[in-house]
């Protein structure tokens, strides 16, 4: 996969992709991340990439020309087949909310182009004529799209086959599995006065699995009850949830 990030602040990406799973995925050849400085596509002497808003109002607006030119130069190198698996994404608080389903969809592409807005945002013609998707990472406003591009990249890359050690560990993640994950512990078994649940030392894998599933159901019921309506539950699991007060989804 190729991820192209268009930004006014390329230095903001120096740390996040040089560590951990994203770095390993790069080294294993699973992903190439290209950081493009939008200013390099602004051809006036001062590389101006933003301007005042037509009609008045505060907040500079990012100009269309450099962003169109930069993104189109990336797209120009793609074959038609590659284009069919390419998404041009504007990070924006107005976009479709990022969730694990969308992350999965993005992880199946060959090329992702991520445009980072800044200041008041980008010229509307970028939305109308350049992008395929507008994505928000949550209902709050960032000062720029860079943290959003980092979030999207991280979540997508860890789904690329081979990026994370075991597929099972990805599938068992909170949200991905449809539920929140059960509690997890590591050594020491006793830390200060707090001991881990005895069942985890029992060696009885069936019972451990049952315990984990119940904790997972319980946690989901307490913190994110709306998720229970979307997951397939056995009758035993439903019975268990009812003992906690779950009344089923309307």
Candidates 66, 145, 179, 240; binder of ligand SAH (CB under 6 A) is: 145
* Spatial contact of 102 and 134, defined as CB atoms under 8 Å apart: no
* Spatial contact of 241 and 222, defined as CB atoms under 8 Å apart: no
Check residue 109 for interaction with ligand SAH (CB under 6 A): no
Interface segment toward ligand SAH; rule CB under 6 A; list 33-41, 103-111, 120-128, 225-233: 120-128
Q: Which token pair is 108?
A: 């199946």
Which is nearer to ligand SAH, 106 or 148 (by Cβ)? Answer: 148
Minimum gap (Å) between residue 70 Cβ and ligand SAH: 15
Give the distance, in angstroms, between the CA of residue 48 and the centroid of all CA atoms in the same chain: 30
Give the distance, in angstroms, between the CA of residue 63 and the centroid of all CA atoms in the same chain: 26
Candidates 9, 23, 30, 120; binder of ligand SAH (CB under 6 A) is: 120
Which is nearer to ligand SAH, 131 or 179 (by Cβ)? Answer: 131
Interface segment toward ligand SAH; rule CB under 6 A; list 46-54, 68-76, 92-100, 102-110: 92-100
Question: Which residue minimizes CB distance to ligand SAH?
Answer: 117
Would you mind telling me the total number of residues written for the chain in this entry?
A: 250
| Rounded distance between C-alpha atoms, residue 144 and residue 149, angstroms | 10
Check residue 93 for interaction with ligand SAH (CB under 6 A): yes
In whole angstroms, how far apart are CA 98 and each of 14, 105, 111, 148, 246? 24, 11, 18, 10, 28
What is the DSSP annotation of 13-72?
A: GTTTTSSHHHHHHHHTTS-EEEEEEGGGG--STT---EEPPTT--SS-EE-HHHHHHHHH
* Spatial contact of 82 and 111, defined as CB atoms under 8 Å apart: yes
Whether cis (ω within 30° of 0) applies to the bond prior to 188 is: yes
Check residue 92 for interaction with ligand SAH (CB under 6 A): yes
Check residue 116 for interaction with ligand SAH (CB under 6 A): yes
Minimum gap (Å) between residue 211 Cβ and ligand SAH: 38
Interface segment toward ligand SAH; rule CB under 6 A; list 8-16, 144-152, 157-165, 168-176: 144-152
| Rounded distance between C-alpha atoms, residue 3 and residue 74, angstroms | 11
Interface segment toward ligand SAH; rule CB under 6 A; list 7-15, 29-37, 111-119, 176-184: 111-119
Residue window 155-174: x/- pattern of binding to ligand SAH, with contact defined by CB under 6 A? --------------------
CB atoms within 10 A of CB 194: 9
Candidates 7, 136, 153, 216; binder of ligand SAH (CB under 6 A) is: 136
Interface segment toward ligand SAH; rule CB under 6 A; list 28-36, 39-47, 87-95, 221-229: 87-95
Binding stretches for ligand SAH (CB under 6 A): 91-94, 116-118, 120-122, 136-138, 140-142, 144-145, 148
């Amino acid at each position: 996969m190729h991820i192209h990030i268009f930004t006014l602040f390329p230095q903001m990406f120096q740390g996040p992709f040089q560590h951990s799973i994203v770095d390993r995925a790069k080294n294993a050849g699973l992903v190439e991340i290209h950081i493009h400085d939008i200013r390099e596509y602004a051809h006036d002497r001062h590389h101006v990439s933003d301007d005042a808003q037509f009609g008045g109002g505060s907040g500079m607006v990012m100009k269309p020309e450099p962003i169109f030119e930069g993104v189109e130069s990336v797209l120009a190198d793609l074959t038609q087949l590659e284009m069919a698996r390419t998404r041009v994404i504007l990070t924006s608080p107005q976009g479709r909310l990022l969730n694990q389903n969308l992350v999965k969809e993005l992880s199946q592409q060959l090329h992702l182009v991520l445009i980072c807005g800044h200041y008041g945002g980008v010229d509307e013609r970028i939305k109308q004529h350049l992008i395929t998707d507008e994505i928000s990472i949550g209902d709050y406003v960032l000062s720029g799209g860079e943290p959003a591009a980092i979030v999207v990249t991280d979540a997508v890359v860890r789904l690329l086959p081979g990026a994370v050690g075991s597929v099972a560990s990805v599938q068992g993640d909170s949200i991905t599995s449809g539920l929140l994950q059960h509690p997890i512990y590591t050594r020491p078994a006793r830390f200060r006065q707090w001991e881990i649940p005895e069942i985890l030392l029992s060696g009885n894998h069936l019972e451990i699995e049952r315990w984990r599933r119940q904790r997972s159901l319980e946690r989901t019921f307490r913190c994110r009850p709306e998720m229970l309506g979307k997951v397939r539950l056995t009758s035993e699991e439903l019975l268990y949830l009812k003992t906690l007060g779950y009344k089923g989804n309307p």
